[in-house]
Amino acid sequence: MTVRERSLMVRARGLRHHLRIWGEDSAPPLLLLHGFLDVSATFAPLATPLAAAGWRVVAPDFRGFGHSQWPEDGYWFADYVADLEALVRALFGDSAALPVIGHSMGGQVAALYAGLRPSRVSRLAVLDSLFLPDGEAAQAAERYRRWLDALQAPLREQRYPDYPTLAGRIRKTHPQLDERQALFVAQCWARPLAGGGVSLRADPRHRLPFPLLYRAAEAETIWRQVQAPTLFVEARRSPFYQGFPAAQRAARRACFAAAQVVEIEAGHMLHFDAPAATAAAVIDFLRSG
C-alpha cells in the first residue's frame, strides 16, 4: 500500500526534534512513541496500515535518538515527558485530545503523560511496556557509585563495518527477522560515517547507568489518574513479558480505569516483528466505543 511519508523538524525545549509523519494532513492525528535505543523510522511497518486506516501518524524521535538533537547535559526520564508535552502544544495547540501509542520506553512516557494530562489523551495504547521492576532502597548507593564511575570513562560510538554487519547483529537478538527486515532496521538505527562504516544514531551517553531507582508506587499513582480507554498489547515472546510475574502485570493494568488486553505472538519489538497483528489490535481499539 502507498502511504504518504515525510519528516518535520520542530524546536521544543531548546532542542531540535525530528518527527516522522505518515498519512494525509487532513486525517485525524495520533502519536506514536518509540522505545529505548529505537527510532521513529522502524515504526513504518506499523504506521503504514494505521495511516491507510485513516489516521495521520506522528512519530517523534526522542531527544538523543534518530535525527533529534543530543542535549548538552545528558538524559533524565522526566525530560521525555516534558518534551512530549511541548511537542503536543507546538503541533496541536493547547486543548486537542488525541490517541497516543507508546512502545516500551515510549509506553512509559505515554502512560505518565496520559495520567498527568488526562484531558489531552483520548485513547492510550501501551505496547509491551510498564514491565520495569520496582527499585529497592538498598540498591541506591551502588547505583549512584556505578553512575559516578561510568562518568569517568570516555564513551565511544558503537561502530560497524557496514549495514549488513549490523543487520547480522540485529538478527542474533531478533532471529525471527529475515535478512531484508534486519537490514531495514539497521538502516533506521545507524548512519554512515565519513571514513567508512556505520554508527548508531543514538547518543552513546544513553548507555550510562542511571543513578535513580524506578519507583513503581509513584508511577501507579499517576496511572490511576488516566481517564482514557487503555489497550495493553503484550508480546508473548518478549523477555520482559515472560520475566515479569503475571500477578504484577495484572496489578499494574488494574491502575487504569478502562483497560483491555490483547496478547500476540511476537517478541519485544512487535512493531517490526508482528506489525500486521499489532496494527489490527490497535485499529480495532481505536475504532471501538
Residue 196, number of CB atoms within 10 A of its CB: 9
User: What is the per-residue pLDDT across 139-159, written as a single tens digit (0 to 9) for each?
Assistant: 999 999 999 999 998 888 889
Residue 157's pLDDT is what?
Answer: 84
Residue 130's pLDDT is what?
Answer: 95
pTM: 0.94
Q: 106, 31, 137: which is closest to 270 by C-alpha?
A: 106
Residue 117's pLDDT is what?
Answer: 97
Mean local confidence (pLDDT), 100-109: 98
Residue 174's pLDDT is what?
Answer: 85
Q: How would you list the strands of the sheet with 190-192, edge to edge?
A: 159-160, 198-200, 190-192
Mean local confidence (pLDDT), 222-243: 96
Residue 289's pLDDT is what?
Answer: 65
Instruction: Judge whether residue 273 has pLDDT over 80.
Output: yes
Instruction: Judge whether residue 71 has pLDDT over 90.
Output: yes
User: What is the per-residue pLDDT across 155-173, written as a single tens digit (0 to 9) for each?
Assistant: 888 899 999 999 999 999 8
106 CB-side CA count, 13 A: 29
Instruction: Judge whether residue 1 has pLDDT over 80.
Output: no
